[in-house]
Amino acid sequence: MEHTYQYAWIIPFLPLPIPMLLGVGLLLFPTATKNLRLPYINMYGLGPINNDFSLEFGYLIDPLTSIMSILITTVGIMVLIYSDNYMSHDQGYLRFFAYMIGMCSYLLIGFWFTRPIAANACQKAFVTNRVGDFGLLLGILGLYWITGRTNFLFVSLCVLFLFVGAVAKSAQFPLHVWLPDAMEGPTPISALIHAATMVAAGIFLLARLFPLFIVIPYIMSLISLIGIITILLGATLALAQKDIKRSLAYSTMSQLGYTMLALGMGSYRAALFHLITHAYSKALLFLGSGSIIHSMEAIVGYSPDKSQNMVLMGGLTKHVPITKNTFLLGTLSLCGIPPLACFWSKDEILNDSWLYSPIFAIIACLTAGLTAFYMFRIYLLTFEGYLNVHCKNYSGKKSSLFYSISLWGKEGPKTKKKKMRLLTLLTTDNNENAKASFFFEEGIST
């Protein structure tokens, strides 16, 4: 039985050769394939195919598909090259590339399935996206059924269902919960699927169906409302993260909110412009975070709780100077510093938001400031100051030594001949409770 379980993964692949052979046959030998297929169709009682019937396959090449093709191709190639070295030490190297080529996000998020948190994360992503897919399917079937009829209310309901699918794919409120947990997968997957491709699918869906959405003002208002909520929610959650990848995940959620807001306002070109600029900037940041994580693993060993914890980092500039420069470039771009790419796209969205709603514009501008704050928080905690991991006791023993570490990871003046815990705590002689600042984690091991 153990051998059966060992090769059970082959079962899902068994149906794969049939459609592949049919596709190759239709392309190379259409007449012979058609002759082989007709007897089976007649056998099931479907009757002969009318000679006037034709089924056409092709590609629609327009500006939207051209943009997405260039984006996904360029980012995908860079991530594949990066993955070759990043995953070279992993025992699942071949399995990783098999999943990337032919499988879905579910298996890639749960790639290290022996870790319970990764197994739970892939299930969470699967269930959340199935909610969106169910809405998308209802919308497609409803529109197919209503074609040729006039029922504005039903059409509005179908369009709303289509929007639910886009909300789940692009991690918008309230179906955003899967994206931060999806960071349990390998970092190249975070850069490819969860920064440039999969999360862009929802935006692509809205852009493709934009002529349908724009004729229903209530749906457009709902899109802009969901976008502005996601912008603020993602930015505020990113402020409180210690894990570098989760911080970037919440940042992705917030920046995609800008594109959703732009689509809701009718700024089609600004939305696609920001989608492209953000995808390249965020892919650069995720790949940089992978380099940082590998550098930390040389010190703390393989432990995502430690190697991805920003409060244990600091002073990495001299160890990874190239990564530091590229990460700074991505940070400046995402913060909207001219003349980098995100400045132009975000500026266009903010300008249009003032014409659409002053309240939305104020929230969007304030969130742009928060974006600069949490991105430079990530950068400074990671690369500046001193390496804080040396202040941490990993032996599991109680330590009575304390270090006082400042806001940005630098060592401050010693107030006692004791070592203070990471990014800690102001203690008093009268045993008052520790007061933790925004960046600091409270809690001394007992």
Averaging pLDDT over each range in 289-293, 392-396, 429-433, which range is the top one?
289-293
- Within 10 Å of residue 23's Cβ, how many Cβ atoms? 12
* CA–CA gap between residue 383 and residue 318 (Å, rounded): 9
User: pLDDT per residue over 162-208, tens digit each?
Assistant: 999 999 999 999 999 999 999 998 999 888 887 778 899 999 999 99
Phi, psi of 243 (to 5 degrees): -80, 125
Would you mind telling me the total number of residues written for the chain in this entry?
446
Q: Which two tokens stand for residue 68?
A: 């997405």
pLDDT (average), residues 118-144? 92
User: pLDDT per residue over 244-279, tens digit each?
Assistant: 999 999 999 999 999 999 999 999 999 999 999 999
Backbone dihedral region for residue 423 (phi beyond 0: left; psi -120 to 50: alpha; all else: beta): left
pLDDT of residue 410: 42
Contacts with 125 (C-beta within 8 Å, 6 or more apart), sequence order: 105, 106, 109, 178, 179, 181, 182
* CA–CA gap between residue 275 and residue 342 (Å, rounded): 9
Burial 112-145 (b: 16+ CB within 10 A, else e): beeeeebeebbebbbebbeebeebbebbeebbee
Question: If we measure between CA atoms, which residue out of 357, 63, 59, 345 comes closest to residue 210?
Answer: 63
Question: Between 345 and 421, whose confidence is greater?
Answer: 345
Q: Using an 8 Å Cβ cutoff, are 323 and 296 in contact?
A: no
pTM over 0.85: no
H/E stretch holding 22 reads helix 17-28
| CB half-sphere exposure, 3, CA atoms < 13 A | 0
Q: DSSP secondary structure string, 329-340? A: HHHHHHTT-TTS
12: preceding bond cis by omega (within 30 degrees): no
* CA–CA gap between residue 60 and residue 133 (Å, rounded): 23
Percent of the chain past pLDDT 70, that is, above it, reads 75
Q: Which residue has the tokens 């006039």?
A: 150
Residue 19 confidence class, pLDDT cut points 50, 70, 90:
low
* CA–CA gap between residue 349 and residue 104 (Å, rounded): 32
> Is it the case that residue 34 has pLDDT exceeding 50?
yes
Question: If we measure between CA atoms, which residue out of 285, 304, 189 comes closest to residue 242?
Answer: 304
* CA–CA gap between residue 63 and residue 61 (Å, rounded): 7
* CA–CA gap between residue 418 and residue 401 (Å, rounded): 4
Query: Which ranges of 147-197 does DSSP label H, i.e. alpha helix?
Result: 152-169, 178-181, 187-192
Phi, psi of 168 (to 5 degrees): -70, -45
- Rg (C-alpha) for the chain, rounded Å, is 26
Question: If we measure between CA atoms, which residue out of 198, 140, 197, 204 comes closest to residue 169?
Answer: 198
* CA–CA gap between residue 37 and residue 278 (Å, rounded): 47
Helix/strand/coil for 236: helix
- What integer best gives the mean pLDDT of the chain? 80
Percent of the chain past pLDDT 90, that is, above it, reads 49
